[in-house]
């Protein structure tokens, strides 16, 4: 199962561009008036790159924004997300930069977020000199791997791109270990559900986490069951959407068996080894009954309290 980095980054960047800029490029963010509407110029950027061998990339965006100096001046924000080491990357930044300027004849700010696994590849300049003429473009770059040194802070960061960064780093780290990936995904999912964010933001960020940390179906079902149990305990209505988001079929297939297994695991952790009669009793129960027992489990101090008021 190959990871897809293009789709989740594209969706979350377009929806939350101000947060993206505040997290990765705070100085540029402070120079832009985000209270005024900004517009993506994707079709124009695609036309400007036509016919050029510009290499592989995760995505590129061109956005018209207003300056924060109180004037009516706009500038063009050119953002590149690069997923692989590419010797021609700096030249590509230069090509885009001058083509955008030539097309619109207004200031262009180019910057890049590097998503590759390396530590040392940090292209931040393209220049050439011939005779007495020199041309140079310097552009800011942020290396996602640098955030590995501050993982603890990312878990507490209020910016949604703290979670996106964590999800991407964990996706890279767990590419060959589905067991570790399941734990990482569940930790991020629980953290997301505890955030005091609006319904749509939580749904959007869950989509990103789910795309980046893809799991085999068998392991994905455990994450789905966890979301289901949280919904039952907290009555967070929007969690039903998370279940429907690509998960509904998995929840319906073997839902009774999955909930029975989950409840038995919880009972053993709290009350010790279970008798064969208890195991059979749980395994034979219908889904509504299992849900009532799971709610009882939250406050039960003794095993019999779980099965009370049947």
Query: Do both 33 and 122 map to the same domain?
Result: yes
Task: Judge if pTM exceeds 0.85.
Answer: no
Q: Which of 56-65, 82-91, 155-164, 175-184 has the lowest mean pLDDT?
A: 56-65
Q: 3-state DSSP: the chain helix, strand, coil percent, rounded to 5? A: 60, 15, 30
Query: Do both 162 and 237 map to the same domain?
Result: yes
Query: Do both 39 and 134 map to the same domain?
Result: yes
Q: Which two tokens stand for residue 173?
A: 């780290």
Query: Do both 300 and 197 map to the same domain?
Result: no
pLDDT surpassing 90 at residue 127: yes
Query: Do both 183 and 242 map to the same domain?
Result: yes
pLDDT in tens, 44-65: 777 776 655 555 455 788 999 9
Within-domain flag for 76: yes
Query: Do both 69 and 108 map to the same domain?
Result: yes
pLDDT in tens, 175-226: 889 999 999 999 999 899 888 888 888 888 988 998 899 888 778 878 877 7
Predicted confidence at residue 232, as pLDDT, reads 63
Average pLDDT over every residue of 110-129: 94
Number of domains composing the chain: 3
Q: At what angle do helices 160-173 and 6-15 cross, to 10 degrees?
A: 170
**Percent of the chain at pLDDT above 90?**
43
Predicted confidence at residue 302, as pLDDT, reads 85
Range of the structural domain that residue 288 is part of = 264-306
Query: Do both 279 and 191 map to the same domain?
Result: no
Last residue of a domain, one of 72, 107, 139: 139
Where does residue 103 rank: exposed (0-12), middle (13-18), buried (19+ CB within 10 A)?
middle
Within-domain flag for 275: yes
Predicted confidence at residue 250, as pLDDT, reads 41
pLDDT surpassing 90 at residue 233: no
**Percent of the chain at pLDDT above 70?**
85
Average pLDDT over every residue of 121-130: 95
pLDDT in tens, 250-261: 444 445 666 777
pLDDT surpassing 50 at residue 247: no
Query: Do both 242 and 270 map to the same domain?
Result: no
Query: Do both 64 and 121 map to the same domain?
Result: yes
* CATH number of the structural domain spanning residue 89: 3.30.300
Query: Do both 196 and 109 map to the same domain?
Result: no
**Residue 296 near residue 307, CB atoms below 8 Å:** yes
Give the bridge partners for 59, in sequence order. Answer: 81
| Structure confidence at residue 276 as a pLDDT band (50, 70, 90) | confident
Query: Do both 292 and 228 map to the same domain?
Result: no
Give the bridge partners for 75, in sequence order. Answer: 65
| Structure confidence at residue 249 as a pLDDT band (50, 70, 90) | very low
Average pLDDT over every residue of 150-172: 94
Predicted confidence at residue 299, as pLDDT, reads 76
Within-domain flag for 15: no
């Amino acid at each position: 199962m190959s990871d897809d980095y293009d789709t989740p980054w594209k969706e979350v960047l377009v929806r939350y561009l101000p947060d993206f800029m505040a997290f990765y490029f705070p100085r540029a963010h402070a120079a832009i008036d985000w209270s005024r509407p900004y517009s993506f110029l994707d079709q124009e950027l695609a036309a400007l790159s036509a016919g050029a061998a510009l290499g592989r990339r995760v995505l590129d965006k061109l956005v018209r924004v207003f300056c924060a100096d109180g004037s009516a001046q706009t500038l063009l924000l050119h953002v590149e997300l690069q997923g692989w080491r590419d010797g021609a990357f700096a030249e590509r930044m230069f090509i885009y930069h001058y083509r955008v300027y030539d097309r619109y004849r207004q200031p262009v700010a180019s910057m890049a977020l590097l998503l590759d696994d390396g530590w040392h590849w940090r292209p931040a300049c393209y220049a050439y000199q011939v005779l007495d003429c020199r041309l140079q473009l310097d552009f800011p770059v942020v290396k996602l791997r640098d955030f590995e040194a501050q993982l603890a802070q990312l878990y507490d960061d209020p910016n949604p791109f703290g979670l996106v960064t964590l999800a991407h780093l964990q996706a890279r780290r767990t590419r060959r270990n589905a067991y570790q990936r399941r734990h990482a995904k569940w930790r991020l999912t629980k953290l997301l559900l505890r955030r005091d964010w609006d319904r749509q933001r939580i749904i959007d960020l869950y989509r990103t986490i789910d795309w980046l940390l893809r799991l085999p179906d068998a392991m994905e079902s455990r994450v789905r069951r966890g979301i289901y149990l949280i919904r039952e305990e907290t009555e967070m209505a929007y969690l039903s959407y998370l279940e429907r988001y690509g998960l509904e079929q998995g929840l319906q297939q073997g839902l009774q068996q999955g909930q029975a297994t989950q409840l038995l695991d919880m009972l053993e952790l709290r009350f010790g080894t279970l008798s064969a009669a208890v195991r059979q009793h749980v395994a034979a129960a219908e889904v509504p009954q299992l849900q009532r027992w799971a709610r009882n489990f939250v406050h039960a101090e003794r095993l019999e309290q779980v099965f009370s008021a049947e």
